[in-house]
Amino acid sequence: MKRAILAALGLATSLAMPATAEDIKVGLLLPYSGVYAALGNDIDAGFALGLETFGAETGATFEIVREDTEVKPPVALGKAKKLILQDKVDVMAGIVSSGVLGAVRDMVHGAGVPLIVANAGNDEATGIQCSPYITRMSFSNGQVNRPMGTWMAEQGIKKVYTLAPDYAAGRQMIDGFAQTFTAAGGEIVGQEFTPFQKTQDFGPYLAQAKASGADAVFVFYAGGEAISFVKQYDSFGLKADLPLYGSGFLTSALYVNAEGPAAEGVITALHYVPTIENDANKAFAEAFTAATGRVPSEYAVQGYDSARALVEAVKAGATDRESLANALRQVSFDGPRGPLSIDPATNNLIQPIYVYETIAGEGGLTQKVLAQLPAERDPVNGCEMAPVSN
Ligand code: PHB
């Protein structure tokens, strides 16, 4: 807007010029209540730290409007509409649940509002349902779990029983794992999907896993469900005979200490663990702990990197929905996860995956990296990336 006025006055301005004194209105669409509330709050804290750390370089001001998805797709769709039509945000960030991302995708794409996905791994949002307006600063469900299928088969594990909540993320995470595990000669001897946000008692499922003849169990659970699952797995007495593996959200640094000793020895894979050693992670971890009193989790780093991506886009001269969408797809920087780049074919991140074991450390449970698996890029999964329309 200001750029247009300057141009009309004949005051030259170029797209490469940093936006000075620009107001950028950001809609943060996160679960602040429900089973993923802690995850939403950690992304929010990471986002705030990212803006505080890098935002001043732009000269822009960032106004934040927060809306609670409650982890309910219809509620989230209503909130997305409000942010887009009523608040007229320039950009949206957030979204934790793959179900919520699936629900708001058409609205976001149709309205031409850039969305920085700060968690939800829904494979379709960077696959068959991809959009030039949707850029991911988190992970995709397949990306996190495919490397683990191969790695577990290489460790000599032959038969696995799988469990996950019955919604898009649970199904896609298990699919990703099962694809590579079976390709490497492994066998899935049983599989259940538990009612999402409704299952309190995992006992019946654990009894089935025990009777299945599996060598190991592989699961995806996150947030409150992860805490209940890990505790019940241990109290059921399964851990010693039937080792527990999963995607790394199961034992996230955000709530692993709420799981307590039940989490010790669980082996999982993820795109970030707070114990990664590099300068950017050291600076981030120190600042995040100073601000919140917590060790940063994958959720915190996704929020932080989302804010950094927005800042980079604004520094590249973007000021409105279209220029922001274009610039966001092109950002790259060295973050706490290492060098980050976005695959132009899908707008998903390309990043390494870490296999880690939860072990007892000095200040509580910590993450011991067992393997760093090479940078993982998703297949295009039917994505035909259209240009941002003008
Ligand atoms: C998702 O629904 O995509 C999702 C939710 C929580 C996680 C990871 C993925 O920790």
Residue 350 forms beta bridges with which residues? 341
Most informative mutation of 43, 175, 249, 353 for ligand 1 (most atoms within 8 A of CB): 249
pLDDT (tens digit, 9 = 90+) per residue, 240-279?
999 999 999 999 999 999 999 999 999 999 999 999 999 9
Residues 250, 280, single domain; the answer is: no
Is pLDDT above 90 for 17? no
Lowest mean pLDDT among 21-30, 90-99, 134-143: 21-30
35, 36, 69, 95: which to mutate for ligand 1, most atoms within 8 A of CB? 36
Tell me, yes or no, whether 374 lies in a domain.
Answer: no
DSSP letter at 182 equals H
User: Do residue 235 and residue 183 come from a single domain?
Assistant: yes
Instruction: Assess if residue 360 is contained within a domain.
Output: no
pTM of structure? 0.94
Q: What is the pLDDT of residues 146-200, one digit of tens each?
A: 999 999 999 999 999 999 999 999 999 999 999 999 999 999 999 999 999 999 9
User: Does the pLDDT of residue 11 top 60, yes or no?
Assistant: no
For residue 158, tell me if it sits in a domain.
Answer: yes
| 178, 183, 188, 189: CA torsion to nearest 10 | 170
C-alpha to C-alpha distances, 352 to 48, 146, 214, 277, 345, nearest whole angstrom: 25, 12, 28, 14, 18
Quick one: pLDDT at residue 363? 87
Which are the contacts of 273, defined by CB distance < 8 A and separation ≥ 6? 248, 253, 298, 354, 356, 367, 369
Ligand 1 pocket member 120 (CB < 6 A): yes
Q: What average pLDDT does the chain have?
A: 93
Nearest to 26, CA basis, from 114, 148, 112: 114
Q: What is the pLDDT of residue 20?
A: 45
Q: Where does a domain end: 225, 248, 270?
A: 270
| Residue 222, ligand 1, Cβ within 6 A | yes
- How much of the chain exceeds pLDDT 70, in percent? 94
Å from CA of 96 to ligand 1 middle: 6
377 part of a folded domain: no
- Do residues 118 and 63 share a domain? yes
Q: How confident is the model at residue 324 (pLDDT cuts 50, 70, 90)?
A: very high
Domain boundary among 270, 299, 324: 270
- The band of 88, judged by pLDDT with boundaries at 50, 70 and 90, is very high
How large a percentage of the chain has pLDDT more than 90? 91
Q: Are residues 250 and 289 in the same domain?
A: no
CA of 334 to the centre of ligand 1 (A): 24
Give me the pLDDT at residue 386, please: 85
Mean pLDDT of all residues in 336-344? 93
In a shared domain, residues 230 and 280: no
326 lies in a domain?
A: yes
Token output for 89: 């945000």
Across 131-160, average pLDDT: 98
Least confident piece of the model among 39-43, 75-79, 373-377: 373-377
252 and 280 fall within a common domain: no
Q: Does 249 contact ligand 1 (Cβ within 6 A)?
A: yes
Q: Please say if the pLDDT value at position 2 is more than 50.
A: no
Enclosing domain of residue 29: 2-140+276-350
Same-domain check for residues 120 and 12? yes
CATH number, domain of 208, equals 3.40.50.2300
pLDDT at 111: 98
Same domain, 129 and 201: no
The number of domains in the chain is 2
Q: Are residues 116 and 39 in the same domain?
A: yes
